[in-house]
Amino acid sequence: MKYLLIAIVAALLFIPFLGDSHLFDWDEINFAEAAREMIVTGNYSQVQIDFSPFWEKPPLFIWFQALSMKLFGINDFAARFPNAVIGIATLLTFFHIGKKQVDEKFGLWWALVYAGSWLPHFYFKSGIIDPAFNYFIFLGLYFAYRIGYAEKAFRMAIFSGIFLGLAVLTKGPAAILISGLTLVVYWVYNKFRIYIRIPHLLLIATSAIVTTLLWFGYEIASHGWWFVEEFVKYQWRLFSTPDAGHDQPFFYHPMVLLIGCFPASLFLFSYITTARAKSIYLSQPTEGKDFRVWMWVLFWVVLILFSIVKTKIVHYSSLCYFPLSYLAALQVYRLLEGRFTLKGWNISLILVIGIILGLAIGVLPLVGIYKNELIPHIGDRFARANLQADIHFSFGEMAFGLIYMVLVIVSCVLLFRKKVQRGLLCLFASSVLMIWITVVHFVPKVEGFSQRAAIEYYESFIGKDVYVKPLSYHSYAHLYYSRKQPTQNKAYYTDKASREKWLLEGDIDKPAYFICRITDAEPWRQHPNLQEIGEKNGFVFFKRK
């Protein structure tokens, strides 16, 4: 019954209003476009973008999206629906493992701690690959850990390999790197003692290879080794060189986890400071303590690895959400059992960050209300033009941020007064509520400022036999939102690098339309073959003469 209840609550949290805002460039639209092109071409074996091979990602998550689009149609809801399903599965998995590790109460709290933290919850309402990728890696490591404690250890090894193989098919060999590093660090930390023997490792490796060969083997047999070569080069470039706009300092991911995983991150800090306290495990204490070690190792491996990687994007450290939420849930459980008391600085930090988040939510409507007064003081011309979008805010919307601040304050007062269960429920339940409101109410408005003018321009070409191309910036939105069909003119595909020049100056066979940001518009306004046909909210539109 509890499994069904969790599934229903998770579905209510993650599924409604998934399509209320357009997909965001790049990642969300990138994967959705690949799924759409699979449906259009009927080619499900090879990932494509603009109907050309796309070797940066394997196809498993894109297959999920294509299946969803078959069920719900080609739309934004369908593109995000697979992650909502992954979210439901994740909370059910947490409850199941938590019940085995400690008891049902702990399993429920682990699910609530995860769902009540900002970025972990938000990702299940997105259309990016990482929630599925992280879930498969977590299961692969969980079954590897179970090898030492299950009666049928070889079965656990097979399951571990299958899920690691699914992770590779979702995003690539980073799954093997992360899992391998976690295993090695655990082995070293455990003074070179480990219950996973060579036969187990061979079985894990064999299961993973067989799983990945279901697609990689077919791809190599059908198209040769070029895909694998280009894929490896791409992964190495991500690791060794920063992508434009994604070169961040070493401490970038720790700050993302501190703020983005609030309030769970604060309980992780509390856990660190009381790590020597008595264990909470009610049964199988050795097994429980060992799983805690696995989670610590996984957390630090992911955090350090992606702090070293040159390209730093928010979701790169998202696998940390799994061990972080587990360790935070342990601390919450210990609080409820009266095994320790939160220090004043812990509660004060919860209060400070909660108020900062509430202020951010409360101030957001003011930006919309007073945008005309703010625009002259903004240096970025594109941002100024974005704010001119016809998006309406009211003073009443500030109440959302105010309510969240009040609930956080109430939670902290209850914690100070040692009314722990009521304080924790108020804190995490209010976060769940405010995350839901933010995604449903504010994200569509933010999207309206940032990209809606461009997307509406692309949507105006649905069903029209034309070329559409962004100038001076990279995007996938023109493909997905214009519902582009395969181009019959072979000249379009001969040289991808010179495609823009061909569309601007070549012997094209149908009308060509273009878009650029206002900050890049002047050179294109001077182009002899372009005619400006409009401008809206920071985007300038052209047609080839």
Select the more confidently predicted residue: 432 or 284: 432
Mean pLDDT of 356-372: 92
pLDDT digits (tens, 9 = 90+) for 213-233: 998 888 788 777 776 677 667
What single-letter DSSP state applies at residue 510? S
Q: In the structure, what pLDDT confidence band is assigned to residue 244 with cuts at 50, 70 and 90?
A: very low
Write the single-letter amino acid at 469: K
- Specify burial of residue 441 (Cβ count, 10 A radius: 0-12, 13-18, 19+): middle
| Apex 57 CA angle, 53 and 63, nearest 5 | 90
Q: What phi and psi values does residue 535 have, to the nearest 5 degrees?
A: -155, 140
Are the beta carbons of 86 and 93 closer than 8 angstroms?
Answer: no
Mean pLDDT of 343-354: 93
Mean pLDDT of 96-106: 93
pLDDT for the residue numbered 177? 92
Long-range contacts of 209-216 (CB under 8 A, 24+ apart): 209/161, 209/165, 210/161, 210/165, 211/161, 211/162, 211/164, 211/165, 211/166, 211/168, 211/169, 212/165, 212/168, 212/169, 214/169, 215/45, 215/58, 215/59, 215/60, 215/169, 216/58, 216/169
160 has a pLDDT exceeding 90: yes
Pairing of strands 539-544, 530-536: antiparallel
Tokens of 405: 């601040």
What single-letter DSSP state applies at residue 441? I
pLDDT for the residue numbered 276? 53
240 has a pLDDT exceeding 80: no
So where are the chain's domains?
A: 2-243, 344-450, 458-544
Are the beta carbons of 35 and 67 closer than 8 angstroms?
Answer: no
What single-letter DSSP state applies at residue 431? H
In the beta sheet, which residues pair with residue 541? 515, 534
pLDDT for the residue numbered 313? 82
285 has a pLDDT exceeding 70: no
Mean pLDDT of 496-504: 85
Tokens of 281: 């495990």
Residue 534 makes CB contacts below 8 A (sequence gap 6+) with 457, 540, 541
The SS3 call for residue 544 is strand
The sign one gets for the Cα dihedral 174, 177, 181, 183 is positive
CA distance 542 to 516: 8
Q: In the structure, what pLDDT confidence band is assigned to residue 277 with cuts at 50, 70 and 90?
A: very low
Three-state SS for 323-353 is HHHHHHHHHHHHHHCCCCCCCHHHHHHHHHH
pLDDT for the residue numbered 219? 79
Write the single-letter amino acid at 396: G
Nearest to 389 by CA among 443, 450, 347: 450
Are the beta carbons of 508 and 514 closer than 8 angstroms?
Answer: no
pLDDT digits (tens, 9 = 90+) for 523-536: 999 999 999 999 99
Q: In the structure, what pLDDT confidence band is assigned to residue 339 with cuts at 50, 70 and 90?
A: confident
CA distance 28 to 49: 13
pLDDT digits (tens, 9 = 90+) for 306-316: 888 776 788 88
